[in-house]
Amino acid sequence: MKQMRNRSVEKKLEFYMDTFKTVVYLLIATGGGTVGLMLKTDNPVAPVFALAGSILEGVWAYWAFSAYFKAKKLLKELEK
């Protein structure tokens, strides 16, 4: 029974680690695009998209921290 539970925890851990990696990639990509848009001050639409990118950065950061701490909790559960 413990093996089944451990397998379930391992699958969840794998999911959260993959989610964490993906969100870090999103942070990097969105951050680069947002900075690029902030440097384009002559385009009237650029500030709107830069603001949207900045908001998404906050969302991605929250998602990354959430996935990280859930994975950390699952690791501790596996160590028991």
Q: What is the pTM of this model?
A: 0.82
| CB atoms near residue 57 (< 10 Å) | 15
CA distance 10 to 32: 33
Q: What is the pLDDT along the chain (80 residues), one digit of tens a residue?
A: 667 778 888 999 999 999 999 999 999 999 999 999 999 878 899 999 999 999 999 999 999 999 999 999 999 988 87
